[in-house]
Amino acid sequence: MDLQDKLNQKGLRLTKPRQVVMTILERATVPLSPQAIHQHAIENQADIGLVSVYRTLELLTTMGLVRRVHGQDSCEGYVLASPGHHHHLVCRTCDRAVEFTGTDNLIPLLEQLQHETGFTVDEHLLQLYGLCPDCQN
């Protein structure tokens, strides 16, 4: 089922801005801010408004097609999200982000914490930072 169907199914429409944002994110190797996405669009002769970039990112995020990546200091930007449980490993120098599959490494920790704190834990944010092969020299 492609983007068109996923949208139409909910009474939503496949529009130029939505296609453009999606394509840009598909090609990106680093998390992109709304501004950066807008810039890319303009450079590719795709004349869409910044407002629509914001609106599209919000939509795609709630649809689970896009994920927000947090930087160490400020919030970095948005990346395409594969379906399922994933996290990101981000290069501190060039910002390149690779996705990795969530494991159950955390389960013992979660259980211990639920026990100790009385909290229930149902979501987590895990991001790793380091240097990509190219940036290690």
Q: Which stretch binds a second copy (CB under 8 A): 10-18, 24-32, 42-50, 86-94?
A: 86-94
CB of 54 to DNA, least distance (A): 5
Look at strands 86-91 and 97-101 and give their pairing: antiparallel
Number of residues that bind a second copy (CB under 8 A): 38
Which CB, 60 or 90, lies closer to DNA? 60
* Residues forming a β-bridge with 80: 66
- Which 45-64 positions form the footprint of DNA (CB under 7 A)? 47-52, 54-56, 58
CA–CA separation, 73 and 92 (whole Å): 11
98 near Mn ion, judged by CB under 5 A: no
CB of 128 to Mn ion, least distance (A): 10
Which residue's structure tokens are 């492609």? 2
Query: Taking a C-beta distance cutoff of 8 angstroms, is the pair 67, 79 a contact?
Result: yes
Local structure of 111: helix, strand or coil: helix
- Which 53-82 positions form the footprint of a second copy (CB under 8 A)? 68, 70, 72-75
CA–CA separation, 24 and 43 (whole Å): 11
CA–CA separation, 90 and 66 (whole Å): 16
CB of 64 to DNA, least distance (A): 16
CB of 72 to a second copy, least distance (A): 7
124: which residues sit within 8 A by CB, 6+ positions away?
A: 106, 110
Query: Which stretches of the chain bind a second copy, using CB under 8 A?
Result: 68, 70, 72-75, 89, 91-92, 98, 100, 103, 105-106, 108-110, 113-114, 116-133, 136
